[in-house]
Amino acid sequence: MFGDKMVTPAIPERIFALCKIVEKNPISSADLKEKMEPDYLENGSVYFNDYRKAAEELGLIAISDDLVSLAVNPKVIKTITSMRIYINATLEKYNTGQFYQVTNAYFEKGSDIFKEDKNIANLSPLFSEMTGMPVDAMAMRAWRFWASFLGFGYLQDMFIIPNANVFLSDVIVSSELEKKRLYSVTEFVNAITPMANIVISDISSKKFSYGVSNGLRALQDAGRIKMEHIHDQEDMWTLYPLRAYSNDATITHITIL
């Protein structure tokens, strides 16, 4: 799902449910499959291998001698939110995979994404071209589930509206940034990298993309951060211009609240 090709059965809820089952004690793959997909349902499901592989890929579970066990501190899977924070902090490990590459291309596309088809599945040729790897409609449907869950945008029917506020909030939690401390924007960005490289790939430009700008503004509106432009400062970054936010085109400092 993250290391290679994206698949639709490996949705976050299934991976979380699997982890909760193995949280207490190791369990055989056969028994785990029976708990996840009981035979009596007779639904002919063949999903298990896909989401079990994704959980293993993410380092959430380990498999030894056909026994599946939890591979992380139970705090990581205390809630589905804590699992999301863990995953967002580890995405850089999968920077050659489809999910990472498509997400990076999606943010590079910026507001121009609104000029494209509003059914994300129909954008597979676009992202195949942008990433240089084969991306089919099924992969894009899988991407839609995870992009929404991990906080890269808001799901609207079959479309994702770029807004990285949930993802950025998670990597701030996972960083060593201190609350109530004034950081230059470069200090802030350095503190959340490489975790945030998936959406901030060109630090030298000192420009935040449309989706990242939306995320930062949403965090400020929610009272999570404060962005400032302090005069006579050389470390100046540019946000994507929006009419409703005409006073924050450039910022020099960010405070975590």
**Any idea where the domains of the chain sit in the sequence?**
12-77, 90-160, 166-256
Which pLDDT band, with edges at 50, 70 and 90, does 242 fall under? confident
User: Quick check: 84 pLDDT over 60?
Assistant: yes
Please state, for a pLDDT cut of 90, what percent of the chain lies above it. Answer: 84
Q: What is the largest CA-CA distance in the chain?
A: 70
Contact 253, 198 (CB under 8 A): no
Residue 71 neighbours by CB distance under 10 Å: 16
pLDDT recorded at residue 40: 59
Distance CA 12, CA 3 (A): 16
Mean pLDDT to the nearest integer, 232-247: 82
Please name the residues in contact with 185: beta carbons below 8 A apart, sequence gap of 6 or more.
Answer: 206, 235, 236, 237, 251, 252, 253, 254
Mean pLDDT to the nearest integer, 89-94: 97
CA 110 vs CA 106, 135, 165: distances in Å: 7, 19, 15
User: Quick check: 117 pLDDT over 70?
Assistant: yes
pLDDT tens digits along 32-69: 999 998 875 555 567 899 999 999 999 999 999 989 99
User: Quick check: 250 pLDDT over 70?
Assistant: yes
Query: Which of 14-23, 35-44, 58-67, 144-153 is the least confident region?
Result: 35-44
CATH class as words, domain 12-77: mainly alpha
Query: Which of 1-5, 81-85, 145-149 is the least confident region?
Result: 1-5
The radius of gyration of the chain's CA atoms, rounded to the nearest angstrom, is 20
CA-based nearest residue to 106, from 161, 150, 55, 56: 161
Distance CA 212, CA 2 (A): 21
* pLDDT, averaged across the chain: 93
Report yes or no on whether pTM surpasses 0.85: yes
